[in-house]
Amino acid sequence: MRTLRPGRVTVQEAARLVAPADGAVLLDVRETLEWRAGHAPGAVHLPLSALAAGAALPDDAQARPLVVICRSGNRSQRAAEVLAARGARAVDVIGGMRDWAAAGFPVVDAHGGNGTVA
């Protein structure tokens, strides 16, 4: 069986893809504590551990292109491969949330305040 290799995008490309005009979903695959500490506004959360165990995509992400992000880009690459094998259109973000925050894109915590990348 051939492994599907989804594409990879920069944080700048990711931000454009998840803009309302393009309609992709930013899917954050970090664990819950990381997500609560800080995530991109509007992102949808599904930990890689749950995805790998067979969890379905959240309703907000069903049948939409997916831009997958984690802390540094390793887990998101694996998650994008899992999603592609399931037939989803998915790309992962090179550099993850670390590069997202370093590029000046917003990061919010679980309460909507200023978040940090854990």
Per-10-residue mean pLDDT, the chain, length 118:
67 93 92 97 97 94 95 95 94 97 97 94
Contacts of 70 by beta carbon, 8 Å cutoff, 6+ apart: 28, 29, 30, 48, 76, 79, 92, 93, 96, 97
- Amino acid 6: pLDDT: 75
* Buried-exposed string 34-56: b where 16+ CB fall within 10 A, e elsewhere: bbebbbbeebbbbbbeebeeeee
Residues belonging to the active site: 70
Going by their DSSP bridges, the two strands 66-69 and 44-45 should be labelled as unpaired
The predicted structure's pLDDT at residue 5: 60
Q: In the prediction, which pLDDT does 25 show?
A: 96
* pLDDT given at position 23: 86
